[in-house]
A = this chain, B = another copy of it.
Amino acid sequence: MKNEDTLKRLKTITGHMGGVVRMVEEDAYCIDVIRQIQAVQAALNKVSAAILENHLNSCVTTAIRGEDPLERERVMREITDVFESATKV
């Protein structure tokens, strides 16, 4: 199941975040903390892309093959929106 893979990755990232919390508790060097935060963000990008891929293969495909033009427009607008936001985080 694809969902299991997403869950596993998100749990790993949450664990990584716990590690960043400990680094700050132990007064780690600022730049090292920032680098770990950037690693967490890169991992979040990968999992977002995987979730989007699932979405394209399920909901979006159903909508595009469906008969409802408003629903088609809605799902496409959502993809454009998350794409535009992706560049802002």
The interface of chain A, by Cβ under 8 A from chain B, is: 3, 6-7, 10-11, 13-14, 17-18, 20-21, 24-25, 27, 29-31, 33-35, 37-38, 40-42, 44-61, 64-65, 72, 76-80, 82-89
Number of copies of this kind of chain in the complex: 4
Q: Please tell me if the beta carbons of B11 and A52 are within 8 angstroms of each other in the complex.
A: no
Q: Which residues of chain B are near A58, meaning CB under 8 Å?
A: 30
Q: Please tell me if the beta carbons of A42 and B80 are within 8 angstroms of each other in the complex.
A: no
Min Cβ gap A70→B in Å is 14
Taking CB as reference atom, which chain B residue is nearest A53? B80
Min Cβ gap A27→B in Å is 7
Q: Which residues of chain B are near A54, meaning CB under 8 Å?
A: 30
